[in-house]
């Protein structure tokens, strides 16, 4: 039986095993998907152990999407362009890194019918998830800027600068602010969230983070979670998922 896993620092909140088990059913595969928690000091050892043949691939989550890249044999073109990896597949004895977050978020924007072309889009945070979100919005034609507490380049503005913006089409939260168990807090003021036409959050626990509540938005990170998992499975199984992702999302939600 093939085994897959999620590698990260704190995974108690993760529902990835359920998501992947449902995709396995659709592929008619009797495979397993688990969770591997580790510290930054343990990461290299874990990655080395994962190459021993027990696992056929794995996902990577906070905070190792960039760190893991140094331990891989090859990195796909899209992951190199983004600068982060969240999916690793073993092919011909090599560990190859991909970024399915990019496809998952892009699918979510299309799913919600948000046309970002030539619109001002602001990505809160500069971590691994933000890189995929920025690339997806850029490829969809958006005018994208990162928002950081410590801006370091001309692609990034401060939160104070964001407050001065009057033309805000989309805000996407890629920071962990508001994620369980530290709920009820937002990375931005309520009036800024209300100013944006659309607000999205890559967090899915809780489904309604404070920033979404402030903006009266329902666009949480659950659809992205499922869509990126589908892409990961397509990479691992080398076959296209023929199901409807929207229906898959509903099916998984019913089991939570």
Task: Give the chain's domain count.
Answer: 2
Q: In the prediction, which pLDDT does 13 show?
A: 81
Q: How many residues does the chain have?
A: 256
Q: In the prediction, which pLDDT does 52 show?
A: 84
Q: What is the 3-state secondary structure (H, E, C) of 109-164?
A: HHHCCCCCCCCEEEEECCCHHHHHHHHHHHHCCCEEEEECCCCCCCCEECHHHHHH
Crossing angle (nearest 10°) for helices 245-253 and 100-111: 90
Q: Does residue 152 surpass a pLDDT of 90?
A: no
DSSP code of 214?
Answer: H
Range of the domain at 57: 3-99+223-253
In a domain, 119, yes or no: yes
Please compute the mean of the pLDDT values over residues 23-28 and round it to a whole number. 98
In a domain, 87, yes or no: yes
Query: Each residue of 86-144: pLDDT tens digit?
Result: 999 999 989 999 999 999 999 999 999 999 999 999 999 999 899 999 999 999 999 99
Q: In the prediction, which pLDDT does 53 show?
A: 82
| pTM recorded for the entire structure | 0.94
Stretch (H or E) spanning 245: helix 245-253
Stretch (H or E) spanning 246: helix 245-253
CA torsion through residues 11, 109, 155, 229, sign: positive
Supply the CATH number for residue 200's domain. Answer: 3.40.50.720
Residues 148 and 192 in one domain: yes
Q: In the prediction, which pLDDT does 12 show?
A: 86
Residues 196 and 247 in one domain: no
50 is written with which tokens? 């994962």
Residues 185 and 239 in one domain: no
Residues catalogued as catalytic? 65
61 is written with which tokens? 């989550």
Residues 82 and 137 in one domain: no
């Amino acid at each position: 039986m093939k085994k897959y896993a999620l590698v990260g620092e704190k995974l108690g909140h993760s529902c990835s095993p359920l998501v992947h088990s449902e995709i396995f059913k659709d592929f008619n595969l009797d495979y397993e998907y688990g969770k591997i928690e580790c510290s930054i000091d343990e990461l290299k050892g874990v990655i080395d152990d994962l190459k021993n043949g027990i696992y056929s691939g794995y996902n990577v989550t906070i905070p190792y999407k960039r760190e893991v890249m140094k331990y891989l044999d090859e990195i796909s073109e899209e992951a190199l362009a983004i600068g982060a990896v969240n999916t690793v597949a073993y092919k011909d004895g090599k560990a190859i890194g991909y970024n399915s977050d990019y496809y998952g978020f892009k699918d979510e924007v299309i799913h919600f019918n948000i046309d970002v072309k030539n619109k001002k889009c602001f990505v809160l945070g500069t971590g691994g998830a933000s890189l995929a979100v920025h690339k997806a919005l850029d490829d969809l034609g958006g005018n994208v800027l990162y928002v950081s507490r410590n801006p370091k380049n001309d692609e990034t503005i401060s939160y104070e600068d964001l407050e001065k913006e009057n033309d805000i089409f989309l805000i996407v939260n890629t920071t962990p602010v508001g994620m369980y168990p530290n709920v009820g807090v937002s990375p931005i003021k309520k009036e800024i969230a209300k100013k944006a036409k659309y607000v999205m959050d890559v967090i899915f626990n809780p489904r309604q983070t404070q920033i979404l509540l402030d903006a009266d938005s329902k666009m949480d990170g659950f659809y992205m979670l499922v869509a990126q998992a589908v892409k990961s499975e397509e990479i691992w199984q080398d076959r296209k998922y023929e199901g409807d992702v929207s229906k898959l999302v509903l099916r998984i939600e019913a089991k939570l």
